[in-house]
């Protein structure tokens, strides 16, 4: 291409890019202008509402105080009027008695004088003027007239807008991440003391400093936090990092968010691998369910191929039938590959056809996880959703067959719970079994320390250690699961619980693990 055309093409691309940036900037400015107009109108309306509320409060206070003053005035007036009336009556009686006494003094008749003096003496002792208190019952001061609104007037004159709170400062060194909980702490800066609550937002990220998306709707917000710290609980870490930010809010406005802080949240995540699943299992993400109808077509087709050209062969139980070989039967009860009616000690002939193996798939309804463990410490949990006749959970090397029985091979370790015929919980490895004296849990936790060769099983509800294998792992491990007549749900994205380090890693007496060499 002509160099001039190339240069012109670059100029055109640069101009087009610049025009696009300008258009985006203009859209942003228009959006900001609309927000300013909308927020301005909203603030004016809120200000009018505040002053109307203040005026209404003042009017209500004025009415209440006027009512109290009138009531006090009426009460004191009545008391003083009654006291005046009593005094007037006493004064009239006293003046009358005084006139009578003066007239008596002018009487010359001794008998009349004596009788009048005695009468005056009796009346004086009963005169109201001598029994009345000469102090007013009430004061002429009106208490409510002493109210002084000068401080309030000064306060009203000093009214100003509430400032936008500054972003708090996250204290990274005081924040903790453990047991799938994140405790976040922050400090107040400048006028943040005027904030009455805080908003915390968090979201997972796939890389330190690199968020999954700039869409703010993906942030999970927690509002109305009135302390300088908050613990986010019930988390499942599907990514290795979490971004957290916080902002201060007051009655008027919410401040800007603080700069986001990235916390490392390592956890073990995996899904169930359908390609490793037994045909009679229905696998959906992190749920596995035993469904005998799922592999029915596959079994009929397989039996047709296996029995083809074999006239007269006996018809056995369908592959995977729990009646012919129910889960939980130990090797000592039935030799591997032997007929159910075969006597113990009878030589076993291992056939080369698949039908011989399919007869014993009753314990091999297995499926593996899709993520292997090669190092470090990991933890995941299992919920027994329905009452299962039999289930097993553990780990296995890659290459574990879909018809293999978990815990019956040298490359798998498992804990199996069985309620078929009788309840039994046993640790299994390399076709060896150890029965455990404890109840079958419905919520299991599995802890795997690959580097130290530890595989432990816990009752996740009571935090009780059920069993711990010690082994020398030489190949990557995959989570393994077996279920018959029931459903298991796997919970991943969990950190190693702190109670595991508290309980430690006790060694169990297990000849199948302590002497393991591979």
**CA separation for the pair 131, 51 (Å, rounded):** 58
pLDDT above 90 (res 373):
yes
Q: Where are the beta strands (DSSP E) in 385-463?
A: 390-397, 412-418, 424-429, 432-435, 443-449, 454-459
Instruction: Provide the pLDDT confidence category of residue 478 given band limits of 50, 70 and 90.
Output: very high
**CA separation for the pair 224, 97 (Å, rounded):** 82
DSSP track, 10-71: HHHHHHHHHHHHHHHHHHHHHHHHHHHHHHHHHHHHHHHHHHHHHHHHHHHHHHHHHHHHHH
pLDDT above 60 (res 336):
no
pLDDT above 80 (res 438):
yes
What are the extents of the domains in the chain? 43-157, 169-264, 272-305+318-328+351-514
pLDDT at 210: 54
Average pLDDT over residues 92-107: 85
Q: Which CATH architecture has domain 272-305+318-328+351-514?
A: Sandwich (2.60)
**CA separation for the pair 281, 420 (Å, rounded):** 19
pLDDT at 101: 86
**CA separation for the pair 16, 27 (Å, rounded):** 16
Instruction: Provide the pLDDT confidence category of residue 316 given band limits of 50, 70 and 90.
Output: very low
Residue 484 sits at φ, ψ, to 5 deg, of -135, 125
DSSP track, 343-367: PTTPPP---SSHHHHHTTGGG--EE
- What's the token pair of residue 284? 């959906």
Using CB atoms within 10 A of its CB, is residue 495 exposed (0-12), middle (13-18) or buried (19+)?
A: buried
pLDDT digits (tens, 9 = 90+) for 180-203: 999 999 988 766 557 889 999 999
pLDDT digits (tens, 9 = 90+) for 440-459: 899 999 999 999 999 999 99
pLDDT digits (tens, 9 = 90+) for 404-428: 889 999 999 999 998 887 888 999 9
Q: What is the CATH class of 169-264? A: mainly beta
Average pLDDT over residues 94-118: 85
pLDDT above 70 (res 388):
yes
pLDDT above 50 (res 161):
yes
**Which is higher by pLDDT, 478 or 118?**
478
Q: Is the distance from CB of 339 to CB of 381 less than 8 angstroms? A: no
- Calculate the CA 130 to chain-centre distance: 82
**CA separation for the pair 198, 196 (Å, rounded):** 7
- Calculate the CA 197 to chain-centre distance: 19
pLDDT digits (tens, 9 = 90+) for 246-280: 999 887 788 889 999 999 998 999 999 998 888 88
Nearest CA to 191 among 215, 211, 164? 164
């Amino acid at each position: 291409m002509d160099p001039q055309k190339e240069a012109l093409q670059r100029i055109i691309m640069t101009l087009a890019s610049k025009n696009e940036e300008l258009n985006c900037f203009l859209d942003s400015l228009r959006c900001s202008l609309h927000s300013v107009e909308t927020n301005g109108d909203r603030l004016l309306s809120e200000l009018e509402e505040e002053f109307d509320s203040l005026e209404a409060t003042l009017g209500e206070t004025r009415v209440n105080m006027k009512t109290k003053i009138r009531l006090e005035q009426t009460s004191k007036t009545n008391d003083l009027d009654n006291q005046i009336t009593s005094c007037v009556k006493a004064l009239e009686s006293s003046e009358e008695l005084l006139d009578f006494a003066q007239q008596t003094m002018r009487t010359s008749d001794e008998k009349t004088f004596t009788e009048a003096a005695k009468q005056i003496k009796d009346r004086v002792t009963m005169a109201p003027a001598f029994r009345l208190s000469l102090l007013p019952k009430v004061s002429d001061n009106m208490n409510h007239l002493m109210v002084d609104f000068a401080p309030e007037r000064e306060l009203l004159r000093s009214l100003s807008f509430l400032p936008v709170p500054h972003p708090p400062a996250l204290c990274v060194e005081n924040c903790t991440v453990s047991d799938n909980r994140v405790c976040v702490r922050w400090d107040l800066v400048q006028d943040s003391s005027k904030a009455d609550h805080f908003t915390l937002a968090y979201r997972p990220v796939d890389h330190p400093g690199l968020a999954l998306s700039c869409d703010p709707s993906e942030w999970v917000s927690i509002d109305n936090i009135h302390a300088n710290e908050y613990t986010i609980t019930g988390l499942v870490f599907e990514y290795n990092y979490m971004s957290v930010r916080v902002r201060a809010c007051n009655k008027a406005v919410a401040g800007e968010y603080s700069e986001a802080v990235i916390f490392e949240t390592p956890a073990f995540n995996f899904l169930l691998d359908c390609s490793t699943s037994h045909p009679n299992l229905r696998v959906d993400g992190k749920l596995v369910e035993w469904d005998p109808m799922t592999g029915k077509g596959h079994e009929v087709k397989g039996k047709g191929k296996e029995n083809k050209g074999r006239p007269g062969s006996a018809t056995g139980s369908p592959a995977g039938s729990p009646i012919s070989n129910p889960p939980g039967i130990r090797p000592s009860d039935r030799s591997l590959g032997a007929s159910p009616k075969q006597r113990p000690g009878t030589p076993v002939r291992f056939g080369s056809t698949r039908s011989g193996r399919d007869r014993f798939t009753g314990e091999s309804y297995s499926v593996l996880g899709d993520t292997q463990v090669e190092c470090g410490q990991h933890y995941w949990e299992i919920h027994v959703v329905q009452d299962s006749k039999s289930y097993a959970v553990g780990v296995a090397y890659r290459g574990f067959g879909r018809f293999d029985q978990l815990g019956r091979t040298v490359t798998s370790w498992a804990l199996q719970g069985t309620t078929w015929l009788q309840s039994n919980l046993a640790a299994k490895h390399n076709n060896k079994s150890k029965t455990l004296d404890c109840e079958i849990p419905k919520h299991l936790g599995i802890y795997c320390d690959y580097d130290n060769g530890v595989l432990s099983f816990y009752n996740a509800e009571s935090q009780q250690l059920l069993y711990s294998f010690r082994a020398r792992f030489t190949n990557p491990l995959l989570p393994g699961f077996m279920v018959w007549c029931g459903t298991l749900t796997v919970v991943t994205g969990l950190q190693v619980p702190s109670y595991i380090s508290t309980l430690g890693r006790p060694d169990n007496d297990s000849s199948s693990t302590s002497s393991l060499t591979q």
